[in-house]
Structure 1
Amino acid sequence: MNVCPLCNGLRRVTVYCSSCRQPMEDQGKVTDYFDDYSPYMDADMMKQFDGYARTYTNHECVHLFYCPRCQAEEVRFIQE
């Protein structure tokens, strides 16, 4: 089983906003926002419904990043 280094606190990543070039904040997995129970579901199972065709086969965790300065949001694929 692969693990996401961001979800498990093994690594930190600095992502800069493509609009204002300020550091963005990691808001966690995109699938955690699907419904109230999504954060408690199996991560590999949720990859089948995340809207990205290859996240399961490529062992990627899709994270949402938010810019507090300009309120922009960006999705990044984190290699597990």
Structure 2
Amino acid sequence: MSYYCPLCNGLMISNITCPACSLVTIDYGKLEDYEGPYSPYAGDDVLESSTSETTQEDVSVCTHLLYCDPCQRYYQCRIHEWS
């Protein structure tokens, strides 16, 4: 079964708040895009194993990198992917 991240595909707007100040964070995309110099250009079949994780509940997730400008901190957020 194929899963799609609603943030990566523009199906949902990121309104994730910072755990420290509760202001809306900036979504910098999936964390895997920052792993290597050619990661953003690799095919979906190459990145599929690292982009989509499966949790214990058999739910696929996509990890995004978030930034809070007032706090100047980066956070990771796991987004549940849609089937």
Superposition TM-score tier, normalisation by shorter sequence: 0.7 to 0.9
- Residue aligned with 1:5, SS: coil
Instruction: From the two aligned structures, give the one with the greater helix fraction.
Output: 2
Q: How many residue pairs align between the two structures?
A: 74
**1:71 alignment partner in structure 2:** 72
Deviation of 1:36 after TM superposition, in Å, equals 1.2
**1:51 alignment partner in structure 2:** none
- For 1:4 and 1:13, the matched residues in 2 are separated by 12
1:19–1:72 contact (8 Å) kept in structure 2 = no
- For 2:4 and 2:29, the matched residues in 1 are separated by 14
Runs of 4+ in 1 over 3 A off after TM superposition: none
Instruction: From the two aligned structures, give the one with the greater strand fraction.
Output: 2
TM, length-normalised to structure 1: 0.80
Instruction: Give the letter for the 2:6 counterpart.
Output: P
Unaligned runs of 5+ in 1: 49-54
Deviation of 1:72 after TM superposition, in Å, equals 1.2
**1:25 alignment partner in structure 2:** 26
**1:58 alignment partner in structure 2:** 59
Same amino acid, percent of matched pairs: 38
